[in-house]
Amino acid sequence: MSRLNIRHSGIGMTSQRTRARMIERLRAQGIVDEVVLGAMSAVPRHIFVEEIFANRAYDDVALPINFGQTISSPFSVARMSELLRAGSSPGKVLEIGSGCGYQTAVLAQFAREVYSIERVGPLLTRTRTRLRELRLNNIRLKHADGVMGLSESAPFDAIILTAAAAHVPPLLLEQLAIGGRMVLPKGNKEQFLCVIEHNAQGYTETIVEKAKFVPMVPGIWKR
Ligand code: SAH
């Protein structure tokens, strides 16, 4: 069942059909988690992109969202969500890099609570409005440098980075609950999607596949 209020979002049958085609393409690309596919068929992706790109919102591409950033492609969002869930929905999730909030809204469909940190202030302002309009009330947004994590709300069952880190930020590892998992694109020129699991013995890292994300940038940006 969807947690969205899409009264406001102006979707008609056209975008519902387009979204259904996106889901079929994701299946063909190897996404199998029905919970993730259900979440992505519920969230109206076109309202997360600028109006001039709305007709390409469901294509399998990353699109510009201003401030030099991009909305992650549907495949990236699906793959990361699937890796994060690994068969069961996390309670408390921390996302680094809210961007336009699309991945955040997808996470909010199956996680109990989503905390999301974004370094670019004006981007976050728009995202806050958009998510409020969708009446997703299990999301908390924060304007901060994500490498610090969010110690006051830690530990997290899952942590997801939507920008590539050269190294795993140590504070994020500390804020990952035992039994929790982190999904991140790691590397500089060459990036790989990695999963880090935290168990009583320590941390284990699995490299999943090649990735292409914008790099993480330190500090915050106001205007
Ligand atoms: N999931 C987002 C991805 C946006 S791209 C979407 O689909 O829209 C990555 C985002 O990470 C950008 O918005 C960028 O500003 C943000 N980011 C980069 N470095 C960061 C940092 N140190 N802390 C918080 N956010 C960061």
| pLDDT > 80? residue 174 | yes
Paired residues of 206 in beta bridges: 195
Indicate the length of the chain as a whole number: 223
State how beta strands 92-96 and 139-143 pair: unpaired
What does the mean pLDDT of the chain come to?
94
- Ligand 1: which of 162, 191, 212 to mutate, judged by most atoms within 8 Å of the beta carbon? 162
- Report the pLDDT averaged over residues 35-47: 96
Q: What angle do CA 137, 43, 156 make, to 5 degrees?
A: 50
118 CA → ligand 1 middle, Å? 6
- Type of residue found at 67: F
Residue 175, ligand 1, Cβ within 6 A: no
pLDDT at residue 9 tops 90? no
* Whether the CB of 100 sits within 6 Å of ligand 1: yes
pLDDT tens-digit readout, 55-105 = 899 999 999 998 889 999 999 999 999 999 999 999 999 999 999 999 999
| Domain architecture of the chain: domains with CATH | 12-211 (3.40.50.150)
pLDDT of residue 51: 87
Q: What percent of the chain has pLDDT over 70?
A: 95
| Segment among 32-36, 48-52, 145-149 with least mean pLDDT | 48-52
> Mean per-residue pLDDT for 36-45?
97
Across 161-165, average pLDDT: 97
Stretch 21-25: mean pLDDT = 97
Q: How far is CA 157 from CA 41, 113, 218, in A?
A: 24, 10, 24
* Distance between Cα 155 and ligand 1 center (Å): 21
- 88 a catalytic residue: no
119 lines ligand 1 (CB under 6 A): yes
Q: Is the CB of 147 under 6 A from ligand 1?
A: yes
Rounded to whole angstroms, the Cα distance separating 140 from 136 reads 10
Best probe residue, ligand 1, of 127, 160, 214 (max atoms within 8 Å of C-beta): 214
How many other C-beta atoms can be found within 10 angstroms of the C-beta atom of residue 102? 26
Query: What's the confidence (pLDDT) of residue 189?
Result: 87
C-alpha closest to that of 106 among 188, 186, 162: 162
Where residue 6 falls among pLDDT bands split at 50, 70, 90? low
Evaluate: CB of 71 within 6 angstroms of ligand 1.
Answer: yes
Residues 192-207 pLDDT 10s: 999 999 999 999 999 9
What is the reported pTM? 0.95
Which of 9, 15, 41, 72 is the catalytic position? 72
Radius of gyration of the chain (CA): 16
